[in-house]
Amino acid sequence: MPLARPIVFGNWKMYGLRADSRARAEAVAAFARPDHGTVGVFPPFTVLREVVEVVGDRPVVVGGQDCHDRPEGAFTGSISPVMLRDAGAGAVIVGHSERRHGLGEGDDFVRRKAAAARAAGLLVVLCIGETEEEYLAGRRYEVLDRQLAGSLPEGAGPEDLVVAYEPVWAIGTGRTPTLEEIREIHGWLRRELARRLAGGAEVALLYGGSVKPDNAAGILAQPDVDGVLVGGASLDPGQFRHIYEAGGAGR
Ligand code: PGA
């Protein structure tokens, strides 16, 4: 079943010890409604199991922030998609810019992670986005095209893939593209996914990068924006709830 819109996913990054993560998860579980879109949280691995337990049977997706491309092996420090699934996760982010650019992970590795995550039964949240330098050089579409070509897992569809457009220069900076730019990019993404994947037109598209309570409604109202991936503001349950509610009744 395709995910109900709007989709509001919170990436907690490397924030949260057990007590505050439990409190955050409890708050999200308390406002999540089965009749209102899809809400999800992506806690650090160390608290993922606890968040799964706190959420229980409430309608909250819980996911990992990354995974390896193998089910097991001699890969010190890595977590496999099978392990995530075993811990109760339903989804995983791959290709986040803090790993692509921060840790030098390339398209091919991202694609293999995504394929392994699908094989393990996880929803893949695949992130793509250009750097500021690429943006200023007018290379945005060229970069997005290359990232799609290199990191989209074969055979994926609306049931197991979400694509998040996250311009690197907008992440954690308080800057965002204009609504016109977001509309144009997501329209382009919709056409590209339709061309590249069977059922690709139905794949949910998220915008990420400095989504806050005061800009969420405008972003979520754009025609091809099915949801948002929220970093900083997802750490504050009040702000995260506001963003979730800003999505309206869904479509
Ligand atoms: P931000 O992060 O909302 O803090 O800009 C978004 C992300 O990294 O997914």
Q: Is the CB of 11 under 6 A from ligand 1?
A: yes
Closest CA to 14 of 102, 82, 81: 102
Catalytic residue among 98, 105, 130, 166: 166
Atom of ligand 1 nearest to the CA of 93: 9
Active-site residue flag, 166: yes
Q: Tell which one of 230, 239, 240 to mutate to probe ligand 1, the residue whose CB is within 8 A of the most ligand atoms.
A: 230
Nearest to 43 by CA among 7, 11, 91, 20: 11
CA of 164 to the centre of ligand 1 (A): 11
Task: Tell me what the pLDDT averaged over the chain comes to.
Answer: 96
CA angle 53, 30, 174 (to 5 degrees): 100
Write down the pLDDT at residue 37.
Answer: 96
Where in the chain are the domains? 7-27+39-225+240-248
Q: What is the pLDDT of residue 248?
A: 74
* Set 96, 98, 186, 192: catalytic member: 96
Range 40-57 average pLDDT? 98
Prediction pTM value: 0.97
Q: Give the mean model confidence (pLDDT) for residues 144-160.
A: 97
The question of whether 96 is a catalytic residue gets the answer yes
CA-based nearest residue to 45, from 75, 74, 19, 67: 67
Centroid of ligand 1 to alpha carbon of 59 (angstroms)? 23
Share of the chain above pLDDT 70, in %: 98
Q: pLDDT category, 102, cuts 50, 70, 90?
A: confident
3-state secondary structure the chain: CCCCCCEEEEECCCCCCHHHHHHHHHHHHHHCCCCCCEEEEECCHHHHHHHHHHHCCCCEEEEECCCCCCCCCCCCCCCCHHHHHHCCCCEEEECCHHHHCCCCCCHHHHHHHHHHHHHCCCEEEEEECCCHHHHHCCCHHHHHHHHHHHHCCCCCCCCCEEEEECCHHHCCCCCCCCHHHHHHHHHHHHHHHHHHCCCHHHCEEEEECCCCHHHHHHHHCCCCCCEEEECHHHHCHHHHHHHHHHCCCCC
Per-residue confidence (pLDDT) for residue 1, from 0 to 100: 67
Q: Give the tens place of pLDDT for each residue, 78-93.
A: 999 999 999 999 999 9
Q: What is the mean pLDDT of residues 211-230?
A: 98
Q: Give, for ligand 1, the residue of 97, 166, 214, 235 to mutate: max count of ligand atoms closer than 8 Å to Cβ.
A: 166
Query: Which residue shows structure tokens 């694609």?
Result: 111
What pLDDT is stored for residue 2 in this prediction? 77
Instruction: Tell how far the Cα of 74 is from the centroid of ligand 1, in angstroms.
Output: 31
User: Is the pLDDT at 250 greater than 50, yes or no?
Assistant: no
Flag whether pLDDT at 148 surpasses 80.
yes
Please write the tens of the pLDDT for every residue from 196-210.
999 999 999 999 999
10 CA → ligand 1 middle, Å: 9
The pLDDT of residue 21 is 98
Binned at pLDDT 50, 70 and 90, residue 247 comes out as confident
Give the mean model confidence (pLDDT) for residues 141-164: 97
Domain 7-27+39-225+240-248's class? alpha beta
172 lines ligand 1 (CB under 6 A): yes
Average pLDDT over every residue of 223-241:
98
Task: Check: CB of residue 192 under 8 Å from CB of residue 148.
Answer: yes
Contacts of residue 76, defined as CB under 8 A and 6 or more positions apart, other chains included, come to none
